[in-house]
Amino acid sequence: MEKLKIGVICYPSLGGSGIVATELGTKMAERGHEIHYITSSKPFRLSESNSNIFFHEVTIDGYAVFKYPPYDIALANRIAQVIVEEKLDLLHVHYAVPHAVSAALAKDMAQSSIGVITTLHGTDVTILGYDPALKNTLSYGINKSTVTTAVSESLRKETMELIKPTNEIVTIYNFIDEERYHTVETGNLRQELGIPHNDKVLIHISNFRKVKRIQDVIKSFEKINTKIESTLILAGEGPEEDEMKKLVDSLGLQDKVIFTGKRDDLPELLSISDLMLHLSEKEAFGLVLLEALACGVTSIATDTGGIPEVIKNGVNGFIVPIGDVNAVVENALNILNNDELRERLSRNGLETAQVKFNSNKIVSEYEKLYYEVAGKR
């Protein structure tokens, strides 16, 4: 089969959509396709060790006339250049706002008929889609795309109802990078983090945005910790960090809660953990839940968005209502006090990760779509 030249547009910083874009691009490069990232900086988890991977930086000078430098237009300008210079076969845009609009504009600038795939990741629809200042932008970007995909059935349905797009949207789930996510040797990590020998370890990993409801994680932990010796790891960084540190202080939990900041050793952190708490208000998929399952860690997560497509209640974890701290505590004590239950959930979780969200399977779904959109075989 002919190899493809694919332009990938994504947010390069910490966040699930950037991680998916990077891991998918890397897998496609391993399959022999040429991947051209067109982004403001090198994607955070991208290693350029594969000679099929290229990076085209988008730059913009802060000309005095601009109150807001027009990044979206500079991005369109750069995409248009790369379409022509590299003779791209298609564009894959992650996170619709503003990337799908920049891609549509680029296509027009380059006078090209290139196909565009837009992948919806979550808040591009579930938050920005309800913002009157951006809803039309989202509809326009989706309707201008050749094909739109959503990372869960829940996100697909919500987008269909909200936007009523002219084209169907297809669900392609996120996948797990099995080479990176599995139980690993952890050396002295517990000691380095100062976790007492007998403590159970609970973990929450996120980009610390309001939507993650980290206050519920901390309040649940406070109650769990009165019943069972435990430590809570809060990994990641973001806007809620200071507030959450204040909450931990006000509850007198400073010695029991570890803020690690942004870490690269997530498989190691997961491998020392007994339970993940992921209590978001909105979550289109919850990539981190899948990463935990692949490392044998079970989760308690909220009944929202695409989470129930990843976590099956009582099978590979537990689902609780949003904001229901007592339900979290009850399930957590049940899991932490019952090794047999924890092992069963963990075994089932591994199977979920390895079968339903298998990387080869999902990457092949995207590859098939790429060939269709590029009109090549």
What span, in angstroms and rounded, lies between the C-alpha atoms of 143 and 271? Answer: 43
Q: Which residues, 54 to 113, sit near ligand GMT by CB under 6 A?
A: none
To ligand GMT, the closest distance from the beta carbon of 346 in angstroms equals 21
Number of residues binding to ligand GMT, judged by CB under 6 A:
21
Looking at beta carbons, which residue is closest to ligand GMT?
Answer: 122
Q: Is 17 in the site for ligand GMT (CB under 6 A)?
A: yes
Q: Provide, rounded to whole angstroms, the least separation between the CB of residue 219 and ligand GMT.
A: 20
**Residue 123 is a binding residue for ligand GMT (CB under 6 A):** yes
Give the footprint of ligand GMT on residues 305-324 (CB under 6 A): 305
Give the x-and-dash track for 145-184 against ligand GMT (CB under 6 A): ------x----------------------x----------
Residue pair 187/164 in contact (Cβ under 8 Å)? The answer is no
Count CB atoms within 10 A of the CB of residue 143.
15
Contact 115, 375 (CB under 8 A): yes
| Residue 43 is a binding residue for ligand GMT (CB under 6 A) | no
We find the least distance from the C-beta atom of residue 58 to ligand GMT, in angstroms, to be 18
Tokens of 351: 């199977």
Using a 10 angstrom Cβ sphere, with 0-12 exposed, 13-18 middle and 19 or more buried, the burial of residue 187 is exposed
CB 174, CB 307: distance < 8 Å: no
Nearer to ligand GMT, 61 or 161 (CB): 161
Mapping DSSP to helix (H, G, I), strand (E, B) and coil, where does residue 203 land?
Answer: strand
String marking each residue 187-226 x if it binds ligand GMT according to CB under 6 A: ------------------------x---------------
Nearer to ligand GMT, 178 or 281 (CB): 281
Question: Which stretch, 31-39, 78-86, 118-126, 229-237, contacts ligand GMT (CB under 6 A)?
Answer: 118-126
How many whole angstroms separate alpha carbon 95 and alpha carbon 369?
18
* Degrees to nearest 5, angle at CA 151 with 149 and 156: 65
Tokens of 153: 């059935």
Binder among 7, 98, 286, 317 for ligand GMT (CB under 6 A) = 286
Selected binder of ligand GMT within 24, 234, 287, 335 (CB under 6 A): 287
- Give the residue carrying structure tokens 């099929």: 52
DSSP annotation of 311 reads P
**Rounded distance between C-alpha atoms, residue 57 and residue 367, angstroms:** 25
Task: Rule CB under 6 A: say whether 122 interacts with ligand GMT.
Answer: yes
Residue 20 binding ligand GMT, by CB under 6 A: yes
d(CA 106, CA 38): 12
Instruction: Enter the DSSP assignment of 365.
Output: H
User: Interface with ligand GMT includes 121 (CB under 6 A)?
Assistant: yes
Nearest residue (CB) to ligand GMT, 89 versus 216:
216
* 22: contact with ligand GMT by CB under 6 A: no
Q: Which is nearer to ligand GMT, 122 or 141 (CB)?
A: 122
Beta carbon nearer to ligand GMT, 38 or 114: 38
Helix (H) or strand (E) holding 37: strand 34-39
Residue 167 is inside which H or E element, if any?
Answer: none
Residue with tokens 């098939």: 368
Enumerate binding residues for ligand GMT (CB under 6 A). Answer: 11, 15-18, 20, 121-124, 126, 151, 174, 211, 282-287, 305
